[in-house]
Amino acid sequence: MAEALIKSENPKYIVFKGEEELSKSLAKYTADLSEKFVRERGAFTVVLSGGSLIESLRKLLEAPYVDTVEWARWHVFWVDERVVKKDHPDSNYKLAFDGFLSKVPIPPGHVYAINDALSPEGAADDYEACLRQLVKTEVLELSKDNGFPKFDLMLLGMGPDGHVASLFPGHALVKENRRWVTFIKDSPKPPPQRITFTFPVINSSSYIAQVVCGSNEAAAVHNALGTEKTSDPLPAAMVILKDGELTWFLDEAAASLLQG
Ligand SMILES: O=C(O)[C@H](O)[C@@H](O)[C@H](O)[C@H](O)COP(=O)(O)O
C-alpha cells in the first residue's frame, strides 16, 4: 500500500514521498471508483487531461488492476484537447492512447476523442453535441442541481501558473457559465488552439483527483490550497465540488510550501 506522508481533510489533500508512491495510490483510488460506479450504474465515465497525468496512471496497467478493472464499462473523455490531428505529437488523445488506452481493453467506441478535422469552434460544438447524445443514451448523467453533465471521475493536472484543463489565469474562459465545452485560440501554453470543458462541468463532477508533482507547481499549490482568499483566484482554486469530492494528490516537492 502506498504510504502517505500527510493527509489533510479540509481541504482534502494527500502528500506522498514521491511520484512513484503517488501513482500507486492513484491507481487504487481510480480502480475503487471504477468498481463503485460500475456496480451502481453499469458504467464509469472518466475524464483525462494531458501532461504528466497519463504517466501517473501507469500502475493501472499492472497487476492486480489490469485484470480486475472492468475496462469494458469505461467511457473516456478529455477535459481539454489541443486542436491538432490525432497522430500529432501535441495531441492529448495520442498521449493517452500511446501511454494508457492502447494497453487496456476499453471498447474503441467508448473513447471520445475530438473530431480533428474541425476548427476549434467546430470541435467544441461537436464535442458538446457528443456529450448531449450520451446523456440521451444514459451513459452520462446530468447534475440535478444545475443540468450540467456529471462525470464520475475527472483526473486533472495543473500547470505552474495554476491552470487546469485549458482554463488559464486571467482568461475570460474561466467565467464561461453557459457552455459545456468551449474553445480557446490564444492559449498561453502551446499549442494555442484547444477545446476545454468549462468550470460548471468540471465542478459538477462526482469525484476529482487533482494530481500535481514537482517543485515548479509548489507556489500554485500553496496559492490554491492556502487559506488566504483572493478576489482573483487561480483556476486551480476554482475547482470546487458542491456535490462531489475533490482530492489533491501531491508529491513532497509540490507540497513543499504548504507547511510552515
Ligand atoms: O493541455 C494540456 O497541457 C493539459 O491537458 C493540461 O491541462 C495539463 O493537465 C496541465 O497543463 C498540467 O500539465 P503537466 O502535468 O504536464 O504539468
Q: pLDDT averaged over the chain?
A: 96
Best mutation site among 52, 95, 196 for ligand 1 pocket (most ligand atoms within 8 Å of CB): 52
User: Ligand 1, from 49, 81, 212: best to mutate by most atoms within 8 Å of Cβ?
Assistant: 49
Q: What is the pLDDT of residues 193-209, one digit of tens each?
A: 999 999 999 999 999 99
Residue with cell 464535442: 127
pTM summary value: 0.97
CA of 194 to the centre of ligand 1 (A): 12
pLDDT in tens, 95-118: 999 999 999 999 999 999 999 999
Query: Measuring CA to CA, which residue among 214, 229, 95, 98 is closest to residue 158?
Result: 214
Cβ atoms within 10 Å of 240's Cβ, excluding its own: 13
pLDDT at position 10 = 85
Kindly report the protein residue whose alpha carbon is nearest to atom 4 of ligand 1: 50
Ligand 1 closest atom vs CA 80:
5
Q: What is the pLDDT of residue 221?
A: 97
Q: What is the pLDDT of residue 231?
A: 79
Tell me the pLDDT band of 4, cut-offs 50, 70 and 90.
confident
pLDDT in tens, 212-244: 999 999 999 999 998 777 778 999 999 999 999
Instruction: Tell me, in angstroms, the distance from the centre of ligand 1 to residue 128's CA.
Output: 21
Whether the CB of 212 sits within 6 Å of ligand 1: no
Atom of ligand 1 nearest to the CA of 189: 3
> What is the maximum alpha-carbon separation in the chain?
50
Q: Give the number of the atom of ligand 1 that is nearest the alpha carbon of residue 187.
A: 1
Instruction: Indicate whether residue 165 lines ligand 1 (CB < 6 A).
Output: yes
Q: State if residue 162 touches ligand 1 by the CB under 6 angstroms criterion.
A: no
